A and B are shown apart, each in its own frame.
Chain A
């Protein structure tokens, strides 16, 4: 099993550009989520999904869109990149159940917006 795979690992965008961060998992996990990590801010939840076709907003959703058409994939779209979106983005997944199990994180995408 590859676990959670994120692409790309690094990206530089110009202000106003759009892009999609890819996240795929091969563990048949129903729950998937996106976090951003900034120095001194910990991990902040952007969007999450409890299954295919279902998504919801987290703590910091503005400027980001998600969709979940399959169990395996959960892409994060930046609509119009801003310097404030410079961050490290992590995708995470966990198995189904009434209580959250430990999350499996991807290796991250380091995004710089200039």
Chain B
């Protein structure tokens, strides 16, 4: 079945440093979504990417979808303590259900 791998599992940065998490699928995806989960909270939808090579920005967050639609990345510029949480990617193959990666936990020290 479809597998979505996410790296790294964990990253600890100093406030102001950049952060990137990567997502790789074993199959070609029709779309990929990104979610953020704060400690003790629930996943919150951030964005969906559909087109090959698509790049979307939300303030300090930049999301990319690979040309082959098998990988994606989330980059945060100049992290803040409010960025702390676990970031999940979730991929859909065709019209199937979403498959979530295991997430990257981000810790930001002031």
| Residues in A lying within 8 Å of B, measured CB to CB | 33, 35, 40-45, 48, 58-59, 90, 92, 98-108
Q: A42-B103, A58-B97 are in contact. Are A106 and B42 (CB under 8 A)?
A: yes
- Shortest B106–chain A CB gap in Å is 15
Q: Interface residues of A: mostly helix, strand, loop or mixed? A: loop
Is B80 part of the binding interface, using a Cβ–Cβ cutoff of 8 Å? no
| Chain B 89-110: CB-based contact to A (< 8 A → 1; otherwise 0) | 0101001011111110000000
Enumerate chain B residues within 8 angstroms of A44, measured Cβ to Cβ.
Answer: 100
Q: Are A43 and B100 in contact (CB under 8 A)?
A: yes
- Beyond the given A42-B103, A48-B97, could you list 12 further A-B residue pairs with CB under 8 A, ordered by the A residue number? A35-B100, A40-B102, A42-B100, A100-B31, A100-B33, A102-B45, A102-B48, A103-B33, A103-B98, A104-B45, A107-B42, A108-B42
